Structure 1
Amino acid sequence: TLMVELTDTQAARVEAARMKFLATPEEKNPNMRFVNNRFIEQLRNCDDYKDYHEKKPVTWTNEPEFLRDFSERIVKSELYKEYMDSSDDSYENDCEFWKKALRALICTDEELTELLEQKSLYWNDDLEIITTFVLKTIKQFSEENGGPQSLLPMFKDDDDAEFAKELFRNTLIHGGEYRNYIENFIKNWEIERVAFMDIVIMMVALSEFHRFPSIPTRVTLNEYIELAKAYSTSKSGQFVNGVLNAIADNLKKEGVLTKE
């Protein structure tokens, strides 16, 4: 959505310059490559994109000043200059510009990050993941398909979606039980002193231990240790590793955990 609205903002700026009483020759006959970017036009007319807007009306129209400033930063960038001056006037180059812009200009823009964090504190963690989703979406667009393109789905397939729902549901239902179990294995610590995110991560890991026999124990341990490193404190990986390993060993002794 931001890419489309940045394009529209620049289109309005170009048109305003063209209509000036004392417009320069360059303003009267501007380079329209950015405004007429083929990928953006496909995205704008994509049925998945339109459906998403009907269900979740996300818009940047309430941030006109930000759009103007951000558009100007893009126009002043070396990336923009190279794109506009390139002899390669192709659909592939149009896509390549936005892939590079996402990496170099959009996901690194401090004002965008601040604005997103005002809307939700979780954007600080999500922006990198979502940028990856958008990049993959651009890569799977093709000129031959015309309008019927697909946005990258949140889940790879129905099995992945069902896994996420079941994991979340089971963690909520048995949350008290898992929390008590964790508390028994935190030596010399009061559970209130442990980072809340560490507790949540370990609760979900215990849910995966119990409810998903096809997932090896070691895989679960490695995944949730990495989650702790990414989403909690600098020492959380080591802490979660120690607690989960102790719990896994005990569950195996009790015969509750029978998978490898």
Structure 2
Amino acid sequence: MINRNLIRIRTVQLVYSWYQNTNRDLRKAEKELLFGLQKSYDLYYYMLQLMLEVTKVYEQRVEAKKNKFLPSEEDLNPNMNLLENKFIIQLSDNKQLQKYNLDRPQSWEENESYVKNLLEVILESETYKNYSQIQAPTYDEDREFWRKVFKQFICGSEELYDLLEDECIYWNDDIEIIQSFVLKTIKRFNENKGADQPLLPMFKDEEDKEYALKLLHETILGEKKFRDLIEENTDKWDFERIAVMDLIIMQVALAEIFTFESIPTSVSLNEYIDIAKSYSTPKSGTFINGILDAIVHKIKNENLIFKN
């Protein structure tokens, strides 16, 4: 689930921090990288838990209305589609989710007001009105309802982004990627798999974890080689005036290009140019593209790398 996109972003951020610190310890940097990636995985489970929390708050609301002094007919006979949603019941029973919550407990209690507001938004939506009118919804209809809700009211929510930024310094950068994986998970749910429905693993395989650590090592240990290459190809620029983040992005990019033969050079270039657009200046993407392109052309001609 922690894809290489996220690993690249986290590595760039960590290398930037590395150069801001006077006490540099590579082992500590490794731990910080893995800790940051673990927090990204925590967010995946936190987002899955959010759907259960919304359902829980709705259940409390239904019970409170039933126990009113003079409950109405609607209070006594609420629409039960949300509470009997087969997808949510399956998610609640999921063994992997339950175990993760025991091992790394997370709670929405301190953000209960957000959960309640989200519930109100859902209940007032056309998506819910259409869903509530279905008599005895099928599993697929139950799952599709939550896929729509997650995509329409959770993805892109500024209120949620602000909340997550306060919760964890890593999450604001991760949210869009993690939410895409939650949507992928919802689509993959199969009624026949019951509580054993697999959730996404932290890493697709051991190779991705090794990629993360190796990219960090090579970036830091190859500093002189990569910065010399950058300086040699910035003859129209004063090397000392290059933005620090631009320099770091290029350094990480070159570490990847030199180290990982299986990753096409064009893929590396595109990924780090995108990172520059998001994390550096408006002109950084074009600037970095020009410098890296010149370096790649040079090192290919000199047979310093052998790949596409």
TM-score under structure 2 length normalisation: 0.76
Higher relative contact order (CA 8 A, sep 6+): 2
1:140 aligned to 2:188?
A: yes
Q: Aligned partner of 1:56: which letter? A: R
**Alignment CA distance shift 1:117-1:189 (3 Å):** farther
Which secondary structure state, in structure 1, belongs to the residue aligned with residue 304 of structure 2? Answer: coil
Which residue identity is paired with 1:241?
A: N
Could you tell me how far 1:235 is from its partner in structure 2?
1.9
1:183-222 mapped onto 2 (5 Å cutoff): 183-190=231-238, 193-222=241-270
Q: Does 1:155 align with 2:192?
A: no
CA contact (8 A) 2:118 2:153 kept: no
Task: Indicate which of 68, 85, 93 corresponds to 2:116.
Answer: 68
Read off the aligned partner of 1:4 and give its amino acid letter.
Answer: L
Distance 1:37 1:256, change over 3 A: same
Residue-pair matches, total: 260
- Is 2:295 the partner of 1:252? no
Verify: 1:174 aligned to 2:222, yes or no. Answer: yes
User: 3-state SS of the aligned residue for 1:131?
Assistant: helix
Partner of 1:24: 72
Which structure shows the higher helix fraction?
2
**Contact 1:136/1:152 (8 A) holds in 2:** no
Q: Which runs of 5+ in 1 are unaligned?
A: none
> Residue type of the partner of 1:146?
G
Who is 1:95 aligned against?
Answer: 143
Q: Please say which of residues 211-220 and 127-136 is displaced more in the overlay.
A: 211-220
The Cα RMSD (Å) is 2.2
Write the deviation string for residues 206-244 of structure 1: whole angstroms up to 9, x where unpaired: 111221123333332233223333443332221111110
- 1:171-225 CA-to-partner distances (Å, cap 9, x unmatched) read 2332454344324433444556444433232122111122112333333223322
Task: Classify 1:182/1:120 alpha carbon distance in 2 versus 1 (closer, same or farther; 3 Å).
Answer: farther
- Answer yes or no: is the 8 Å Cα contact 2:81–2:136 preserved in 1: no
TM-superposed CA distance for 1:79, in Å, is 1.2
| Distance across 1 between alignment mates of 2:151 and 2:240 | 40
- Look up the equivalent residue of 1:71 and give its one-letter code: L
Distance 1:191 1:29, change over 3 A: farther
Q: Alpha-carbon deviations, 1:145-189, whole Å to 9, x = none?
A: 111011122333333333233223322332454344324433444
Letter in 2 for 1:9: V
Q: Match of 1:74, as an amino acid?
A: I
Match among 84, 91, 100 for residue 43 of structure 1: 91
Is the contact made by 2:276 and 2:284 (CA closer than 8 Å) also made in structure 1? Answer: yes
Q: Is 1:239 matched up with 2:287?
A: yes
Change (3 A) 1:235 1:14: same
Q: What SS class does the counterpart of residue 147 from structure 1 fall into? A: helix
Matching residue within 121, 125, 129 for 2:177: 129
Tell me, yes or no, if the aligned pair for 1:107 and 1:128 is still in contact at 8 Å.
yes
Report % sequence identity.
46
The amino acid of 1:86's aligned partner reads I
Contact 2:165 2:172 in 1 (8 A): yes
